[in-house]
Amino acid sequence: MKYSEKYFAELIKSVDVKFNGDRPWDIKVNNEKLYSRILAEGSLGLGEAYMDGWWECDQLDVMITKLLGGEIEQKIREKPLALIRLLMSRVFNFQSKSRAFNIGEAHYDAGNDLYQKMLGERMVYTCGYWKSASNLDDAQTAKLDLVCKKINLQPGQTVLDIGCGWGAFAKFAAENYGANVVGITVSKEQKKLADKLCEGLPVEIRLQDYRDTNEQFDHIISLGMFEHVGYKNYKTYMKSAYKALKPGGYFLLHTIGGNKSVHGTNPWIDKYVFPDSMLPSVAQIGKSIEGLFVMEDWHNFGPDYDKTLMAWYDYFSKAWPELDGKYSEQFKRMWDYYLLSCAGIFRSRKGQLWQIVLSKGDIKSIPNHVRSS
């Protein structure tokens, strides 16, 4: 047994995972070069090796949960290029205004057909709220309704939706609460479909960066966009939101969060799924709102993202025969790895999902509607 194979076999054995074991969460090795590839390239090599068919796992989400729960990722050396990029992120602003549309082209423009098959009826690409829901569509409807209730949305009020996706919130708020919504996105494909889905409603979808918003709104919401802002821009983002919020209004920030402050992301995620992304910490968000907003409520329902991702994976898997031909087999393996490994992140409690309600401090008391539900 080579050194690399012995090293990783002992490492994963500590978290009840084996190479070529007979349990569904064990790793089945198809290429013996896998061990040296992980040793040389870290988590990027692990993910790319899966894409290349070098290994299989019947319950990849369970396997990832076990690895993360045992802090195995901290014991795997990252590729030097990944470390260099992390250092560069300290110097350069990878989420600058000039690069704002990169994520739209790289991920959200992948194809509306893919997302229509995967996301469910409302096409919401953020965590559902499963407290009283038994399926994805109900969980997403409950989440959108929860957002409207937390900002105390009233008929005729205006809402800015930062990172509006395919217009799911805008459509829901207009139809169910009588709101007038402006949604902004950096994805051309999202805008194209959002315009169609929201046709006839008091909704305007703009292809626009958050830094270019000049009007004021009764309320602001942002669902799953803050992960693309970058720590160098957190204060700028909050200042933009503060300027756009009318007195007496609420700003609801819905974001994935991490347990510690970081300045980059997993190298595989950065390369293949969400380039230039990073998860904010409690400390980073707190520092960004300091001197601007008052934090009225902070709600964590991170475990719900595990359920959401597994539902997306189920939808994607069932729809693959219809998508096969437009997307390669390697793309399918990449997408499977993305959805299942992310489910493992939330299941192991390494990732959180926060809804934070902010005000300008001009609310005299904390109304019940903003409290965690």
Q: Mind telling me the catalytic residues?
A: 342
8 Å CB contact between 186 and 217: no
8 Å CB contact between 145 and 208: no
Sheet strands (E) in 93-241: 158-162, 180-185, 203-207, 219-223
Cβ-proximal residues to 328 (8 Å cutoff; 6+ apart), any chain = none
Helices 329-347 and 60-69, axial angle in degrees (round to 10)? 40
Alpha carbon distance 172, 350 (integer Å): 31
Ordered DSSP codes for 289-340: HTTT-EEEEEEE-THHHHHHHHHHHHHHHHHHHHHBTTB-HHHHHHHHHHHH
Sheet strands (E) in the chain: 28-29, 55-56, 158-162, 180-185, 203-207, 219-223, 251-258, 294-300, 351-359
Cβ-proximal residues to 369 (8 Å cutoff; 6+ apart), any chain = 149, 150, 152
DSSP 77: P
Cβ-proximal residues to 15 (8 Å cutoff; 6+ apart), any chain = 66, 67, 69, 70, 72
Alpha carbon distance 176, 15 (integer Å): 48
8 Å CB contact between 273 and 242: no
Residue type at position 121:
E
CB atoms within 10 A of CB 280: 24
Cβ-proximal residues to 200 (8 Å cutoff; 6+ apart), any chain = none
Alpha carbon distance 339, 356 (integer Å): 25
